[in-house]
Structure 1
Amino acid sequence: MERIFEGCLLVTDMDGTLLDRDKKISLENREAIERFVAQGGLFTIATGRIAVSARPYVEQLPVGAPAILYNGAVIYDFAQGERTWSKNLPASAKEVVERVIRRFPGIGVEVYETTNDYPTIAQNNEITLRHQQIESVPFQKADRLELVPEPWIKVLFAWEPERIDEVSAAVGELTGDADVLWVRSDDKYLELLSSGASKGHALERLMQQLGISRDRCLAMGDHLNDLEMIRRAGVGVAVANAHPELLGAAVHCCKHHEEHAVADAIGWWEAQLRSAISKP
């Protein structure tokens, strides 16, 4: 088979990009990814999910490179079952979380530790309860934030969209001197990461690990946590259902995630590569 994608890396977000509304991988997406790999490409995912949540999807796909997890705070090799890189939150992040809880007492708080494969619920609400159902992993429960072992990888805040908007507007006051990064991963989720731990930073590190040149990397996503990733890839693609900032930053806009977006992006990229080869 012709290896048109030799030396290429395709990295896709999962929820809202690779997966449909039922959290399934369509046959069209799976077959296109298999064809991409058969033609020489390397495929992997970049997601806010943890390893145990992402694994059932990885097992359905020809993932040939380490995955970006925890919204960029971890690079994980599923083949070896280990992290190849991670960046923890600084100790000062705990004070940030305490300030958030004091100011917004109804907010849901999930803490992702380095020593536990599962998240710990430091404060529950309707959105965190729904998130637990979606993730289908055994969340832990802590009665108080002080009881959650450190260090932490990330903290996810969950609430109704309009309330998360309020929290987002206050992050400057809430952060203080902590060296942290805030990312909006969904209209209901706001996440706290270490500075330099975005999907974009992780993608740069992954390209370096794999020896992939920037112009041979396509990254695609739908929400603000994907923004740095599609900016740092040579070929940044936004799905049609993407946040307006992603649509503005992308090199290309593909189909809606309900319309086999990954397959559409692969088809478009192949046409671009063939066109470049045919030019004199």
Structure 2
Amino acid sequence: MYKLIACDLDETLIDDDAHVCQRNIDAIKAATKLGVKFVPATGRGYRAIEKTLAEIGLKDKANEYVISFNGGCITENKDNRIMKFQGLDFAKADELYRLGLKCNVCIHVYTKDMVYVYNADEDEIKYLKLRHVYKIIDEPNLDFLKGQDIAKVLYGSTDMPYLEKIASEISNTTKDLDVSYSSNRYLEFNHQGVNKGEGLLWLADKLGIKPEETMALGDNFNDLSMIEAAGLGVGVANVNPKMKDDCDYITKADNNQGGVGEAIEKFVLEK
């Protein structure tokens, strides 16, 4: 039996309106009653997913956990207790920010409690409002964040080929980082070795759970590390087509139809 389920949020667990559908809620609650740990694994921070935790009945619960910032932070839900944090050093974050200023992208800079956003258009603001606690900035550098922990930096654009071009052009700068894509609009930069797969394995080990007793669900490339690390890797129906061969199972339902619930029903509840 799978004892730990690590699940991406955006475009996987939550629907396009940033809510959890009833099929997913019912399946998660049934699994947790069996003692299964349901662990959101997100690129966002803990503060930004409290609404989702409340919807699935896990907000502020002891012995329940979240993998956030793509594995950069692992917390216990009760009182948001940080168990592990590994972010970017300031110099690297500032370098990435300055490079982003030269590109036609939106930039997000994540601290533990806030997302600082540069150059966001109306579409980006609409997306942010559903998912983040954020502040709009127009700064030439990140000097205003000196002394604070910076979890990650990302570039945003709905032109994915353009983001891929940028990634190639700055590859020498990012060769010592963990680089991934998410939500079909973001190019993400984390500390080297920080990814959802490592976060999943670290937490499972802490809880005495074997890798083969874990399941991971996702839709995009920042989920690939945990899909590959887990005992069972599941893509929802709207998974990036380039990842399908890396998944052990693809659900029939997408993120709006309860794909997560479908997987839990099949592999945990055995309906």
* Same fold per superposition (TM over 0.5): yes
8 Å contact 1:237–1:254 — kept in the other structure? yes
Letter in 2 for 1:11: A
**Could you tell me which residue of structure 1 aligns to residue 98 of structure 2?**
98
Q: What percent identity do the matched residue pairs reach?
A: 25
**Could you tell me which residue of structure 1 aligns to residue 26 of structure 2?**
31
Query: How big is each residue's C-alpha offset from its partner over 1:38-71, in whole Å with a ceiling of 9 and x where there is no partner?
Result: 1221111001111121011112224352101111
* 1:186 counterpart = 2:193: no
- Partners of 1:53 and 1:113 lie apart in 2 by 12
- Partners of 1:186 and 1:165 lie apart in 2 by 14
Query: How big is each residue's C-alpha offset from its partner over 1:149-186, in whole Å with a ceiling of 9 and x where there is no partner?
Result: 144210121123243232233241443xx621111012
**Could you tell me which residue of structure 2 aligns to residue 65 of structure 1?**
64
* 1:220 counterpart = 2:217: yes
Q: Quick one: structure 1 residues 77 and 118, their matched pair in 2 at CA, closer, same or farther if it must change by over 3 Å? A: same
- Superposition deviation, residue 241 in structure 1: 0.8
- Partners of 2:128 and 2:17 lie apart in 1 by 15
Letter in 2 for 1:185: S
Q: 1:200 aligns with which of 193, 197, 201?
A: 197
C-alpha RMSD over aligned residues: 2.2
8 Å contact 1:127–1:159 — kept in the other structure? no
**Could you tell me which residue of structure 2 aligns to residue 278 of structure 1?**
none
Q: 1:43 aligns with which of 38, 45, 57?
A: 38
Structure 2 length as normaliser, TM-score?
Answer: 0.88
- Superposition deviation, residue 212 in structure 1: 0.7
Query: How big is each residue's C-alpha offset from its partner over 1:65-116, in whole Å with a ceiling of 9 and x where there is no partner?
Result: 21011111111222132211011113334223323333x1x211111124xx
Letter in 1 for 2:198: H
8 Å contact 1:155–1:193 — kept in the other structure? yes
**Could you tell me which residue of structure 1 aligns to residue 167 of structure 2?**
168
Q: Secondary structure at the match of 2:17?
A: coil
**Could you tell me which residue of structure 2 aligns to residue 9 of structure 1?**
4
Q: Aligned pairs, how many?
A: 262
Q: 2:13 aligns with which of 2, 14, 18?
A: 18
1:255-270 correspondence to structure 2 within 5 Å: 255=252, 256-270=254-268
Structure 1 length as normaliser, TM-score?
Answer: 0.85
- Superposition deviation, residue 123 in structure 1: 4.0
Letter in 1 for 2:219: D
Q: 1:144 aligns with which of 140, 147, 168?
A: 140
8 Å contact 2:10–2:183 — kept in the other structure? no
8 Å contact 1:107–1:125 — kept in the other structure? no
Q: Which structure has the larger Rg over C-alpha atoms?
A: 1
**Could you tell me which residue of structure 2 aligns to residue 157 of structure 1?**
155
**Which structure is higher in RCO with an 8 Å CA cutoff and minimum separation 6?**
2
Q: Secondary structure at the match of 2:55?
A: coil
- Superposition deviation, residue 206 in structure 1: 0.8
